[in-house]
Amino acid sequence: MYSHVSGTGMYLPERALTNNELAKIVNTSDEWIRTRTGIEVRHIAAENEATSHLAEKAAYSALEASGLGPKDIDMVVVGTCTPDLILPNVACLLQERMGMTGIAFSVEAACSGFIYALTIADQFIRLGQAKCALVVGAETMSRLLDWGDRETCVLFGDGAGAVILEAAENPGILFSDLGADGKHRDLLCADAGVSSLKVGETAKLHMKGNEVFKVAVRTLEAMVDKVLLENGLEQGQIDWFVPHQANVRIIEATAKRLGLPMERVILTIKEHGNTSAASIPMALDTAVRDGRIKRGDLLLMEAFGAGFTWGSCLLRY
Ligand code: UT7
């Protein structure tokens, strides 16, 4: 048994925050942000919108696209590093609100959270332990930001993306590869928590951007080489590259390694910013709905994030 994606959905909060607005808060400029990152605008969740609310809207949209209802779902996996609560997990909150049953948990792998969640759901379906999974990447990164730190607050945004992953005779997911290396933990972190010494402090995200950039490019390029080699593919044979949207310069370097022109790369960073685990399913849904990605196309999704964690997934859509 294999798994295939039968529907996609996304949700972007209404409030758009432009580079020019940010330039009024911190010492930055539209020009710096656009040229260094590719971002023009990001969206910010309303005060009464938590991660699970964004996830719920994306989930209903994916269910509608797949022609299924909440009762058909027997597994919910949510990739997020900005959960509503410490517990219950976001997947359980979604289950309760949408009337779903079965397995439900969240995966904490920062920007790689969706690829981790998708890979886990695929394994459950391959083993026959689930038939129809709702897989979500959802984040309210705005809640983690220090709005006085220009090196991070200009980069991130909020949003959610979802896919329905159903059991199928043919793949679907052809290959996935996950990795992590905890030795880089301090380069990108939000260092407060429940059991750490900083209990009760509000977590704020810190990043040594330049150092993260170098490791990200190296790691993503190595992943590309592995995907092509292990699947007997030549450069240029992927139809669509659907990357994590952290920086357009990182994406361009990876696309080059794949032998793909930028016309075959799904870029949403300009309108979404970096939405961490939500960025890949949001990019996927964007390109499915605007007609670029069609049934039968070969897609490569790749992510890299805090931890460091990383992952790739080759999908016949
Ligand atoms: O999604 C999870 C993984 N995250 C990533 O993969 C992100 C990886 N890193 C990056 O995308 C980039 O490193 C950044 C976009 C974060 C930064 O770009 P950069 O080209 O690496 O810039 P930099 O950190 O080397 O900084 C260059 C200059 C510095 O000034 P000096 O020292 O040259 O005078 C910074 O202080 O830009 C300055 N700078 C800013 N200037 C205006 C840093 N942030 C800003 C800002 N506005 N917002």
Name residues whose C-beta falls within 8 Å of residue 186's C-beta, 6 or more positions apart in sequence.
208
Q: pLDDT value at position 49?
A: 98
Q: Is 206 tagged catalytic?
A: no
Q: pLDDT value at position 139?
A: 98
Residue 200 has pLDDT above 80, yes or no: no
3-state secondary structure 268-280: CHHHHCECHHHHH
Residue 10 has pLDDT above 90, yes or no: yes
250 phi-psi bin (left φ>0, alpha ψ -120 to 50, beta other):
alpha
Q: pLDDT value at position 48?
A: 97
What confidence tens digit (pLDDT) does each residue in 256-270 have?
999 999 999 999 999
Q: pLDDT value at position 255?
A: 98
d(CA 208, CA 206): 7
Mean pLDDT of 191-205: 76
How would you label 56-85 residue by residue, b for 16+ Cβ within 10 Å and e otherwise?
A: bbbbbbbbebbebebebbbbbbbbbbbbbe
**Quick one: which atom of ligand 1 is closest to the CA of 212?**
8
Q: Measuring from atom 48 of ligand 1, which residue has the nearest CA?
A: 150
Q: pLDDT value at position 191?
A: 83
d(CA 100, CA 94): 8
Return the percentage of the chain with pLDDT > 70, whole number. 98
What confidence tens digit (pLDDT) does each residue in 97-145 have?
999 999 999 999 999 999 999 999 999 999 999 999 999 999 999 999 9
37 Cβ closer than 6 Å to some ligand 1 atom: yes
Q: How confident is the model at residue 203 (pLDDT cuts 50, 70, 90)?
A: confident
CA 17 vs CA 34, 135, 224, 271: distances in Å: 14, 27, 33, 10
| pTM, full prediction | 0.98
**Choice from 150, 208, 213, 221 to test ligand 1 binding pocket (greatest atom count within 8 A of CB):** 213
Among 44, 118, 120, 119, smallest CA distance to 82 is for 44
Q: pLDDT value at position 127?
A: 97
Q: How confident is the model at residue 202 (pLDDT cuts 50, 70, 90)?
A: confident
Mean pLDDT of 37-63: 98
**Choice from 146, 151, 221, 223 to test ligand 1 binding pocket (greatest atom count within 8 A of CB):** 151
CA of 15 to the centre of ligand 1 (A): 25
Residue 281 has pLDDT above 70, yes or no: yes
Q: Is 244 tagged catalytic?
A: yes
Mean pLDDT of 184-212: 86
Q: Which of 111, 132, 153, 313 is catalytic?
A: 111
Among 272, 265, 278, smallest CA distance to 305 is for 278
CA of 55 to the centre of ligand 1 (A): 30
Q: pLDDT value at position 192?
A: 80
Mean pLDDT of 43-65: 98
What confidence tens digit (pLDDT) does each residue in 285-309 have?
999 999 999 999 999 999 999 999 9
What confidence tens digit (pLDDT) does each residue in 134-165 have?
999 999 999 999 999 999 999 999 999 999 99
Q: Measuring from atom 43 of ligand 1, which residue has the nearest CA?
A: 151
Q: How confident is the model at residue 70 (pLDDT cuts 50, 70, 90)?
A: very high
Q: pLDDT value at position 195?
A: 81
